[in-house]
Amino acid sequence: MTTDCPDISIVAPAFNESDTIKTFHARLTAVLDALDLTSEIVFINDGSTDDTLDQILALKAVDPRIVLIDLSRNFGKEIALTAGLDHATGRATIPIDTDLQDPPELIPDLIAKWQQGFQVVNARRRSRQGESYIKKATAAQFYRIMQRFGQRYQLPKNVGDFRLIDRKALDAVNTVREHHRFMKGIFALVGFRHAYVDYDRDPRFGGTTSFNYWKLWNFSLEGITSFTTFPLRLFSYMGFLVALVSFVYGIIFLARVLAFGDPVSGFPTLFLTMTFLGGVQLIGLGVIGEYLGRVFNETKNRPLYFVNDIYAQSTETPKALSVSTPIRVAVSDKTYAGD
């Protein structure tokens, strides 16, 4: 870390991005060079299995603005981003994907808004090119649930992790150390003066997205269960409803028995009721289990990530410092969420 802070920190997590990282750096530096501000680029190598690390080191040899945090393994994008945000020293910080889906050319617009006094400037996607209908539809549904059942703060629509955060807002974000990191929610949680800049999101430049529908589903669950108690409440209502129906049905039964005597029948009804209720109860238990799992993971209070090396800025030869980062070390929730 430098003693005098740069104006702008770029935070770029990279996992197997060897196809794009050079182009990303070229486009980014073209933008940064045109600015009248000082900057640093914090790359996070999130346990890449290709030569992403070597490529970043090669870039670092020619670009003294680069800081590289090499994590001990793959922790997933949210945690990688957190590691980067922890180490960003700028007066304003901009997290950006290295796969060029977030256009670096938008950075001056974000900065302009910041200079007008906004503390969080969100880049908002105007269109979702190259994304399937199902992805768009599921995304829309997800936002609807979050908007309806979230807390007092609202989750902005069509906003990813690409944004500008000023020092105060970032310090606030960095105090939130929960393990289930739904970053978009965390940014909404901390508040501060928000502004928006619209842009068109590009299809991936190279490589393949590590996202698939299963991951997207888990990501939505993450958002919903980390920021709302809507599923728990849903089951309370469902319980009331089922109880009410069975009460009414019970009265009808009683009336029939009193009026017409008791023909012993109704086995199918009994069978269906039992299996239906059994199913509903199991789902309810699953929902409670989901929240309980989160409580379990948070109470362990493990560090969020582990750092292998930090290649700090402005060392003459890129030399690995064996830095351990005390409070901010790691966990992936994968051990839990994966099974």
Output 98 or 313, the one with its CB closest to ligand UDP.
Answer: 98
Distance CA 144, CA 73 (A): 35
Each residue 166-205 as x (binds ligand UDP by CB under 6 A) or -, in order, gives ----------------------------------------
Partner whose binding site includes residue 166, from Mg ion, ligand UDP, none (CB under 5 to 8 Å by kind): none
Distance CA 215, CA 248 (A): 42
What dihedral do alpha carbons 201, 102, 94, 213 form, nearest 10°? 80
Strand ranges inside the chain, DSSP E: 8-14, 39-45, 66-71, 92-95, 120-128, 159-166, 194-201, 307-311
Task: Tell whether residue 40 is a contact of ligand UDP (CB under 6 A).
Answer: no
Task: Point out which span in 101-109, 255-263, 310-318, 325-333 binds Mg ion (CB under 5 A).
Answer: 101-109
Output 75 or 114, the one with its CB closest to ligand UDP.
Answer: 75
Distance CA 76, CA 338 (A): 12
Closest distance between ligand UDP and the C-beta of residue 55, in Å? Answer: 12
Output 13 or 185, the one with its CB closest to Mg ion.
Answer: 13
Output 113 or 125, the one with its CB closest to ligand UDP.
Answer: 125
Angle formed by the axes of helices 183-190 and 213-227, to 10°? 30
Candidate residues 6, 76, 95, 104; the one interacting with ligand UDP per rule CB under 6 A: 76
* Single-letter amino acid code for the residue at 48: S
- CA-to-CA dists, residue 312 to 43, 170, 171, 205, angstroms: 11, 20, 20, 28
Q: State CA 202 to chain mean position distance.
A: 19
Pairing of strands 39-45, 8-14: parallel
Are 325 and 307 a contacting pair, CB within 8 Å? yes
Task: Tell whether residue 99 is a contact of Mg ion (CB under 5 A).
Answer: yes
Region of 263 please: left (phi>0), alpha (psi -120 to 50) or beta: beta
Task: Tell whether residue 83 is a contact of ligand UDP (CB under 6 A).
Answer: no
Task: Tell whether residue 102 is a contact of Mg ion (CB under 5 A).
Answer: no
Closest distance between Mg ion and the C-beta of residue 205, in Å? Answer: 9
Task: Tell whether residue 55 is a contact of ligand UDP (CB under 6 A).
Answer: no
Partner whose binding site includes residue 223, from Mg ion, ligand UDP, none (CB under 5 to 8 Å by kind): none
Task: Tell whether residue 101 is a contact of Mg ion (CB under 5 A).
Answer: yes
Output 29 or 119, the one with its CB closest to ligand UDP.
Answer: 29
DSSP H or E stretch at residue 80: helix 77-87
Task: Point out which span in 75-83, 251-259, 275-283, 306-314 binds ligand UDP (CB under 6 A).
Answer: 75-83
Closest distance between ligand UDP and the C-beta of residue 253, in Å? Answer: 54
Task: Point out which span in 9-17, 136-144, 262-270, 319-327 binds ligand UDP (CB under 6 A).
Answer: 9-17
Task: Point out which span in 74-82, 93-101, 167-175, 194-202 binds Mg ion (CB under 5 A).
Answer: 93-101
Question: With CB under 6 A, what is the number of residues at the site for ligand UDP?
Answer: 16
Per CB under 6 A, contacts with ligand UDP among 84-103 are: 97-99, 101
Structure tokens at 32: 């940064």
Long-range (24+ apart) CB contacts under 8 A made by 113-117 are 113/164, 113/195, 113/197, 114/164, 114/166, 116/195, 117/193
Site residues (CB under 6 A) for ligand UDP? 13-15, 17, 46, 74, 76-77, 80, 97-99, 101, 209-211
Site residues (CB under 5 A) for Mg ion? 99, 101
